Structure 1
Amino acid sequence: MREFGYQRAHDVSGALALLDADPQARFLGGGTNLVDLMKAGVEWPGRLVDVRELPLDRIESTEDGGLRIGATVTNSDLAAHPEVRRRYPALTQAVLAGASGQLRNMATVGGNLLQRTRCGYFADVTKPCNKRVPGSGCPAIEGEHHNHAVLGASEHCVATHPSDMGVALTAFDAVVSYETADGAGESALTDFYLPVGDTPHRETALPPGALITAVTLPPTPTAARSRYRKVRERASYAFAIGSIAAALDVRDGVVHDVRLAFGAVASRPWRARTAERVLTGAPADTESFAAAADAELAAARPLPHNVYKVTLMRNLVVAVLSELTEEVTR
């Protein structure tokens, strides 16, 4: 590992000033992704600005009935919070499905959203990677890609985003708040992650030097009856090969409201808006669920070794929505 400086920030303005003074600096939360990338030689910050002591570690109800989650709240505290468990159960399930207990105790909400892909070519500095070295190529397209993207990819990158938490937050229209030296800003999570296009190294719309301060969940009554389902290659700690966050409101046998987001199928958590449109107003039955999944997955462009993901995601949509329908109609 290369030498680097370390400073601890005690307020937001101080953290921003430290980063502004050193273009090679990076903010450090739990470090569960950044430090690994530093060890591998993928990230080379000249200085780490520790933000764990900033006053951003609270979860509070908003005036309109939503929740505001501070950026330094740990994954463990987020999953255990009673209002998260009551109002957004799929978010609790998503967090608990990610990583191990030890990692969840360290990892922060802001850092989770900024974690980078687990593509093996990205993490191996001896290999080309357009996300790591723009213009060098994407060997995954012709190489190992069984867990890579089937939606929203490009000829320049087929990596997936690894966050479980981000999938649930995307389904519930979360908004990311941040601070810069020029003032505050915010971005809907669905706009926060940039399309791959020909610039896969540009992953988010976060301005340079910005610090995530909070994630806000709007009031979403449908979210109270929600579920997160993750499929992985082993039952213990592992990244998803496909996942879904779903919330459903059924009235008189008809879908009144539905929220769907997919994980491990694209470079960002994938909001399944086409499927939502197909389902709204449709009968709450397996035929409608399958038709909605097919409509969303019609845009899939799988590679030879990840075709299975299309069938996997179709089955997940049908299974999870069927289970939620049974709960609603009991």
Structure 2
Amino acid sequence: MKPFRYERANGVAAACAAAAAPGARFIAGGTNLIDLMKLQIETPELLVDIGLLPLADIIESTAEGGLRIGAGVTNSGLAADMRVRRLYPLLSQAILAGASTQLRNKATTGGNLLQRTRCPYFYDTTKPCNKRAPGSGCAALHGINRMNAVMGVSDDCIAAHPSDMAVAMTALDARLETVAPDGAIRAIPIDALYRAPGNTPHIETVLAPGELIRSVLLPPPPQGRQVYRKVRDRASFAFALVSVAVVAEREGDRVRAARVAFGSLSYKPWRSAEAEASLEGASATRTSFDAAGIAALKNARGYGHNDFKIPLARRTLRATLADAVGV
């Protein structure tokens, strides 16, 4: 690990100002950043510790009618909150499907959303990676790419976003409230946070230098049943091969409305407007669920080792929808 300076922030404004400097990074739980620093993939000159800032509360938002989740709330704390378990069980299910108890006790809400890909070539400094070293190439493109993305990526980078929590938040229409170094506050829909890789995969989000995620805003809970399903190589402490977050409302023998988001298929949690349109008013049958899967994955592209993700995602969606609507 290379030497770095450390500064404990005493306020949000001071934290943003310090982190806006070149080579500075925020740190809270550090469950991803510290590992990357040990491998010298991340080499910040300054760590701005925001762990003691007043960002660790979950409050009911009277204005929006939902919940305001502080960016410093731990994954364990968020998953265990009775309001989340009762009103947003999808979110609790997704968080508990990720990592381990020890990591969830340290990892924070803001950090989870901003964690970096687990593509093995990103972690291997002996291999080219445009996300780690812009312009060096993408070793995953023709390498062992079993865990990589099949949607929305480019030939410059096929890395997949690893979060479980972010998939559920995408299906729940979460928004992020951020603070910039100049004090400006903005709300960013979670689906708009992540930048497509294009030819600049090292630029991963729309956040400016020093811009801090202060909270996550959940709107009132949607109608219908919420289900998260994660397919992985082992039962715990494994990233998803494919995950699906579904909110589905049934009316008689038909699906009145549905929300669908996939994990581990793209550079971000992938909300499928095509699947949702296919399901609206459709019969609550496996045939309709199969049609939704075909619509959702129509533009997917495998790269060899990860070709299996496309049919797996369709089958996982079918099973998750069947669970959600009681078929």
TM-score grouping bracket, smaller chain normalisation: over 0.9
Q: Aligned residue for 2:112?
A: 112
Q: Aligned residue for 1:204?
A: 205
CA distance in 1, matches of 2:90, 2:122: 30
CA distance in 1, matches of 2:17, 2:318: 50
CA distance in 2, matches of 1:150, 1:117: 14
Q: Percentage identity across aligned positions?
A: 52
CA distance in 1, matches of 2:140, 2:259: 31
CA distance in 1, matches of 2:303, 2:18: 44
CA apart distance, 1:33: 0.3
Query: Contact 1:222 / 1:258 at 8 angstroms: preserved in 2?
Result: no
Paired residue type of 1:319: A
Q: Aligned residue for 2:76?
A: 76
Query: Contact 2:68 / 2:218 at 8 angstroms: preserved in 1?
Result: yes
CA distance in 1, matches of 2:30, 2:219: 28
Query: Contact 2:55 / 2:70 at 8 angstroms: preserved in 1?
Result: yes
Using the TM superposition, name which of 83-92 and 57-66 deviates more. Answer: 57-66
Instruction: Kindly indicate whether residue 260 of structure 2 is the aligned counterpart of residue 260 of structure 1.
Output: yes
Q: How does 1:177-192 map to 2 (within 5 A)?
A: 177-182=177-182, 183-192=184-193
Using the TM superposition, name which of 75-84 and 213-222 deviates more. Answer: 213-222
CA apart distance, 1:315: 0.7
Using the TM superposition, name which of 10-19 and 135-144 deviates more. Answer: 10-19
CA apart distance, 1:156: 0.5
Under a length normalisation based on structure 1, what TM-score does the superposition of the two structures give?
0.96
Q: How does 1:58-97 map to 2 (within 5 A)?
A: 58-63=57-62, 64-97=64-97
Paired residue type of 2:13: S
CA distance in 2, matches of 1:320, 1:240: 15
Query: Contact 1:99 / 1:238 at 8 angstroms: preserved in 2?
Result: yes
CA distance in 2, matches of 1:97, 1:78: 13
CA distance in 2, matches of 1:19, 1:143: 36
CA distance in 1, matches of 2:242, 2:16: 36
CA apart distance, 1:269: 0.5
Q: Aligned residue for 2:148?
A: 148
Instruction: Kindly indicate whether residue 318 of structure 2 is the aligned counterpart of residue 318 of structure 1.
Output: yes
CA distance in 1, matches of 2:215, 2:206: 15
Query: Contact 2:98 / 2:237 at 8 angstroms: preserved in 1?
Result: yes
Q: Aligned residue for 2:52?
A: 53
Instruction: Kindly indicate whether residue 31 of structure 2 is the aligned counterpart of residue 29 of structure 1.
Output: no
Deviation by residue 1:224-282 (Cα, 9 ceiling, x = unmatched): x2011111111121111100011110112121121110001111100011100110111
Deviation by residue 1:132-186 (Cα, 9 ceiling, x = unmatched): 1111100111111011111111110111000000000011111011101221112
Partner secondary structure for residue 96 of structure 2? helix
Q: Aligned residue for 2:281?
A: 281
Query: Contact 2:66 / 2:219 at 8 angstroms: preserved in 1?
Result: yes
CA distance in 2, matches of 1:173, 1:70: 16
CA distance in 2, matches of 1:147, 1:27: 28
Paired residue type of 1:39: K
Q: How many residues align?
A: 325
CA distance in 2, matches of 1:118, 1:181: 30
Using the TM superposition, name which of 102-111 and 56-65 deviates more. Answer: 56-65
CA distance in 2, matches of 1:251, 1:199: 45
CA distance in 1, matches of 2:156, 2:245: 28
Query: Contact 1:66 / 1:216 at 8 angstroms: preserved in 2?
Result: yes
Query: Contact 1:151 / 1:299 at 8 angstroms: preserved in 2?
Result: yes
Paired residue type of 1:143: G
Deviation by residue 1:14-56 (Cα, 9 ceiling, x = unmatched): 2112223x32111001000000000011001011111011111
Query: Contact 1:113 / 1:166 at 8 angstroms: preserved in 2?
Result: yes
Q: Aligned residue for 2:39?
A: 40
CA distance in 2, matches of 1:321, 1:188: 25
CA distance in 1, matches of 2:85, 2:185: 29
Q: Which runs of 5+ in 1 are unaligned?
A: none
CA distance in 1, matches of 2:18, 2:222: 41
CA distance in 1, matches of 2:270, 2:247: 15
Deviation by residue 1:274-315 (Cα, 9 ceiling, x = unmatched): 100110111111111110110110110111111111111111
CA distance in 1, matches of 2:7, 2:208: 22
CA distance in 2, matches of 1:5, 1:286: 56
Partner secondary structure for residue 32 of structure 1? coil
